[in-house]
Structure 1
């Protein structure tokens, strides 16, 4: 199996050292670099010629927190996967972090097996959404939408928008989705913006989570 590289972004040296020991004990994983805040991590990536496959991202950090760092990192380096690793387990924090672009969410009291399984699943699938994460995201979103209307969020979608959402759960690019749906990329861009607006979402990650929660994919 190919060696996978990991970066650790956390403002506590003790946490970083513990994670390094843990991950370097996993077969096929190695630590590429550590950073004590988001600004330092982005500075490293922008000057580096090699990038980690995965970043373990703390949330509550000085200078630049995990929310802002994840949003910038996933925009500038879309091939890098972000796994949030935090003490916060409330719906609002989990929802905000996933909407920022995180591909998985782990609590800092996660077991060794949970950490390894999440790393492996992110490697295989590109994401790892536990039931806890999905429920947190959708409860937060449904609450926001229900404040505007009594209809279910899914009832606002057209059939073509539902098809678009289902295809978003694949590895297809937006251009490939357009080809699959036999429409122009501009039309697909319109579907995306409409779905974002109707469901109060801001990222493809949010679309995928909505699809899982509402049974559009399994």
Structure 2
């Protein structure tokens, strides 16, 4: 049976030895490197000319932490599985994990069985994370989907009762205004001049019986929910 190679990076000797021991208890893995920080991981891979299947990285390490190491590994070896280890499950840590495209996130408070099960899930190509991280990600996704839904042309037309006195270009400009775009951004997106955008806005204000951009944004902000 060909074993999956693993590099373990943890600044504390006790935890490094414990993690190594846990991994080596699993017949499908072989630890090929025990290192103290992210820089040692990068140097080890380059010097030994090996490409570990999985890198287990503690987030908080000196010299180069797990986050920076994970980022560099994904840039150099995108196929290498990167699993971050941390004692924290706060929102800041969760945000950081998502930003470096890690393949998994394991809390140090996890039980041994959970730790081993997580590694097995990861070699199956699954992203594994604590429930709190998944819930946080789910909430963020729901919020983004809500923003996208409320910025859709259909949603805006529906809130305006599908009034027929606005043409397609005017609807487009209202939609982009709802997204918070400036006149310059709108002009570049629609490939028209800023002056033309201003002219369209003047017409829109007149049709909606409002005076300016502030009133239009206030009208659009009331459409949420």
Q: Same fold (TM over 0.5)?
A: yes
Contact conserved, 2:106 with 2:129, CA < 8 A, in 1? Answer: no
In structure 2, do the counterparts of structure 1 residues 10 and 140 end up closer, same or farther at CA, with 3 Å as the change threshold?
farther
Contact conserved, 1:82 with 1:103, CA < 8 A, in 2? Answer: yes
Contact conserved, 1:81 with 1:126, CA < 8 A, in 2? Answer: no
Aligned to 1:105: 105
Is 1:152 paired with 2:138? no
Please list every run of 5 or more consecutive structure 1 residues that lacks an aligned counterpart in the other structure: 146-150, 159-218
Number of equivalences: 153
In structure 2, do the counterparts of structure 1 residues 113 and 140 end up closer, same or farther at CA, with 3 Å as the change threshold?
same
* C-alpha distance in 1 between matches for 2:83 and 2:151: 30
Please list every run of 5 or more consecutive structure 2 residues that lacks an aligned counterpart in the other structure: 153-225
Alignment of 1:25-104 (within 5 A): 25-104=25-104
Contact conserved, 1:54 with 1:80, CA < 8 A, in 2? Answer: yes
Alignment of 1:57-206 (within 5 A): 57-139=57-139, 152-155=146-149
Alignment of 1:9-24 (within 5 A): 9-24=9-24
Larger RCO: 1 or 2 (CA < 8 Å, sep 6+): 1
Contact conserved, 2:52 with 2:80, CA < 8 A, in 1? Answer: yes
Q: Deviations over 1:21-65 (max 9, x none)?
A: 111111221101011111111111122222211111111111111
Q: TM-score under structure 2 normalisation?
A: 0.61
Shift of 1:140: 5.6
In structure 2, do the counterparts of structure 1 residues 41 and 152 end up closer, same or farther at CA, with 3 Å as the change threshold?
same
* C-alpha distance in 2 between matches for 1:156 and 1:73: 38
* C-alpha distance in 1 between matches for 2:129 and 2:80: 17
Q: Deviations over 1:134-193 (max 9, x none)?
A: 2233446777x6xxxxx71452798xxxxxxxxxxxxxxxxxxxxxxxxxxxxxxxxxxx
Contact conserved, 2:89 with 2:133, CA < 8 A, in 1? Answer: no
Aligned to 1:196: none
* C-alpha distance in 2 between matches for 1:156 and 1:100: 29
SS of the equivalent of 1:82 reads strand
Q: TM-score under structure 1 normalisation?
A: 0.63
SS of the equivalent of 1:152 reads helix
Aligned to 2:4: 4
In structure 2, do the counterparts of structure 1 residues 9 and 153 end up closer, same or farther at CA, with 3 Å as the change threshold?
farther
* C-alpha distance in 1 between matches for 2:151 and 2:95: 21
* C-alpha distance in 2 between matches for 1:153 and 1:129: 26
